[in-house]
């Protein structure tokens, strides 16, 4: 958990440097904006209503969905299946076994490509966030970097 938190903070620092954002001042503005606990609870409750899917980090994702239900499709696997698949693939040294373990993962990536072609970017965003927040994320940086920018 701690290592994931540190990686996330490092990513935020890198992004803030690229976008020339002063992170401490911006965080101070956010804290001042929601200084009241009651006001913060209202903001959190309003966001929870908009969440279309929980991710590994339990924060969830908010994806705008238009009138025709375009914008989000659920993943073709459960989070426990995804967790087990990613963990087992990193524990295995044999490439053939890894390919067999990651078969359903690759199939889901194909479905994500179809969804992206039809403007349902939420599926790729959900998968990218799940893999990014997983303990084995270092082994899937290529996948993460191909999924998240399209979202």
Residues known to be catalytic: 118
Count CA atoms closer than 13 A to 49's CA, side-chain side: 5
Contacts of 81 (CB under 8 A, 6+ apart): 104
Neighbours of 74 (CB within 10 A): 11
By C-alpha distance, which of 126, 147, 119, 118 is closest to 53? 126
Neighbours of 3 (CB within 10 A): 10
């Amino acid at each position: 958990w701690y290592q994931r938190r540190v990686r996330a903070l490092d990513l935020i620092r890198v992004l803030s440097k690229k976008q020339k954002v002063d992170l401490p001042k911006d965080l101070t503005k956010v804290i001042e904006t929601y200084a009241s606990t009651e006001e913060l609870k209202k903001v959190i409750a309003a966001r929870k209503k908009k969440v279309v899917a929980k991710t590994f980090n339990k924060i969830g994702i908010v994806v705008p969905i238009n009138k025709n239900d375009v914008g989000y499709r659920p993943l073709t696997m459960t989070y426990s299946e995804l967790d087990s698949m990613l963990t087992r693939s990193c524990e295995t040294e044999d490439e053939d076994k890894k390919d067999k373990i990651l078969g359903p993962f690759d199939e889901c990536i194909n479905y994500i490509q179809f969804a992206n072609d039809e403007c349902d970017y939420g599926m790729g965003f959900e998968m990218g966030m799940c893999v990014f927040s997983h303990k084995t994320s270092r082994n899937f940086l290529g996948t993460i970097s191909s999924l998240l920018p399209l979202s």
